[in-house]
Chain A
Amino acid sequence: MVTHLPYKEVRVIHQLSVFWRRFKRSFTAEIGVFIIVGFFMMAIFGPQISPHEYVKTNLNEQNRPPSPEHLFGTDGLGRDVLSGVIYGARISLFVGISAACISTVIGTIVGAISGYYGRIIDNLLMRFSDLFLVTPAYFLYILLIATLRTRSILYIMVILGVTMWPRLARIVRASFLSLKETDFVKAAKTLGASDRRIIFRHILPNAMAPIIVTTTFNLAGAILLESSLGFLGFGDPTAYSWGSMLERASEVIRFAWWQATFPGLAIFLTTLALNFVGDGLRDALDPRLRAL
């Protein structure tokens, strides 16, 4: 005869709600989410909320300081800086997200192959990623951009993407190295699962936490890099990004402070919010990483 143990209803807590509860514990992470959502809204509803049409030049109102009509002043072509900051959110966020996605895909694949197969493949891939790590970032970007025929924002996006992956690859490789020795992976192997299945179904989901966190930090890094390149004069001169606004502003910085101050503030707030979110994500997804 089977005796049933006294049965009590168990409230199932979904993993997501556990994550959310942990994430909310950090005050700064919440502020970060708030700012990020704000900037995304700004990017999506740009044309509706901007007070002036940014692309429209007005040569009667060049380099005007902030006034009720132009809250952030106007630039050298009489364009409204506030509208420029709102339009710029589109390009800057787009560049950041695309570059971060490209680097995440490359970094994850390289790290996974390197960590899973090991030996000579690992050695070759890691030496290759060393090559990117030893070349200082700006030198690499400037050299790469100097060799381009045209300076399109798309190229800059791709260049940022294909140069930012080595750090993530190392992190993914490290998690694969340790996860590959776990019992559940050995069990899957014994059951005859293919390498691809083990990598994507068994190991990768367990290595997601550091990947998500690093992607958030890379997103912040890409936005910062794009604007820095713009400032140095290696951006896309035709794009309306925060970086190219700063490039034009740097020429008149001595008398027109508002043209550099406000786009710079937008960059700072975006990267700050992303870093706050990344920090919160790290604590919520993988508390062990906190000490590092």
Chain B
Amino acid sequence: MRATYILRRIGSSILLFLLNTIIFFILIRMVPGDPIYAMYGYDPAIPFTKEDIERLRHQYGLDQPLPIQYWAWLQSMLRGDFGYSYETKIPVNELLRNRLFNTLLLQSIALFFSMLIGIPCGVIAAVKPHSKTDNILGAFSIFGFSMPQFWFGIILILLFSVYLGWLPTGGLHTIGGETTVIDTIRHLILPVTTLSLTYATAFMSRLTRSSMLEVLREDYILVARAKGLNEKVVIWKHALRNALLPVVTVAGLYLAFMFSGSAIIETVFAYPGVGYLMVNAAKHRDYAILMGVNVLVAIVVITSIVVTDIVYAFIDPKIRYT
């Protein structure tokens, strides 16, 4: 039962992935203008002749029917070849590899700090639901949800970089300087603060709160209290350990969704990650990069969703295998 569930889950996610790539493949082919112009630029002073375009279209296989083009793309994608950037002619692979590491670095540090702050906040809120503390923490989490990330980042840059001059305004390393750990940390402080103080911490604290509320209703908590255990031990040891399970699983899932926000945060801080790469590629209509980023993100997101589902199936016996 469980094995078939897992197999079906993996099968449907592969289908989902293929559907995703097909849709984006078609979308990109629907773009106004010939891809040849996107690759070589268009200069009205030296227009391409019709023969030039025909020749180039043939060379790149653009004169083939769409399904054949897609099949060719899929084959090279499975070999790990995403082609070359239209603009810089650098292999997309190479670009993605460096950028992915930077994005994961930033996002996982931010996730760590938001769990560090968010989980205790959620526990404190859940201990006395609907109390003053709970309401204040709830209001703070709404503040976090509502804060435009880019605006908060800009305000931090204005305050700490432009006026106080304490921290660099963006990037990951000082240009022309030596790449040291301290230098990298200095560059990471503002983006990490922005990311964790806006959406992430609020999300973690809400998640912990609702999970804790559920656990605190359980009989074993009543038993622990009846045994005369210290309330602190009951809350932070007995309850939190059990409440953390869904929090940690969802945190894994959430890391995938942080990719989405990376476009914003990385643009604000000119941070060399996947999001910034994507925004710039879209501005320059560099479709090779766009397609590569899409595949990368789809793989990371779908994998993390499937892994979360499977982990859940193992942990929670109540789950229905449908």
Contacts and interface: CB of A to CB of B under 8 A. Distances in A.
Contacts of B146: 220, 224, 268, 271-272, 274-275
Contacts of A291: 210, 213-214
A212 B218 CA distance: 32
B48 to A, nearest CB: 21
User: In terms of DSSP, what is the predominant structure of the interface of chain A?
Assistant: helix
B162 to A, nearest CB: 6
Interface in A219-258: 220, 224, 227-228, 231-234, 246, 250, 253-254, 257
A210 to B, nearest CB: 16
B155 interface: yes
Contact of A275 (B145, B259, B261, B282): B145
A13 interface: no
A149 B27 CA distance: 13
B282 A142 contact: yes
B267 interface: yes
Interface stretch (B15-23, B76-84, B110-118, B172-180): B15-23
B20 A134 contact: yes
Interface stretch (A169-177, A193-201, A259-267): A259-267
B260 A149 contact: no
Given A134-B298, A292-B210, A146 B285 contact: yes
B5 to A, nearest CB: 15
B223 interface: no
Interface string A137-164: 1110011111101000000000000000
B301 A134 contact: yes
B290 A143 contact: yes
Contacts of B92: none
B147 interface: yes
Given A134-B302, A139-B263, A253-B157, A272 B142 contact: yes
Nearest to A147: B31
Interface residues of A, number: 44
B199 to A, nearest CB: 10
Interface in B290-308: 290, 293-294, 297-298, 301-302, 305
A271 B148 contact: yes
A232 B279 contact: yes
B275 to A, nearest CB: 8
Contacts of A220: 146
Interface in B251-286: 256-257, 259-261, 263-264, 267, 275, 278-279, 282-283, 285
Interface of A: 28, 127, 130-131, 134-139, 142-147, 149, 220, 224, 227-228, 231-234, 246, 250, 253-254, 257, 260-261, 264-265, 267-268, 271-272, 274-276, 279, 291-292
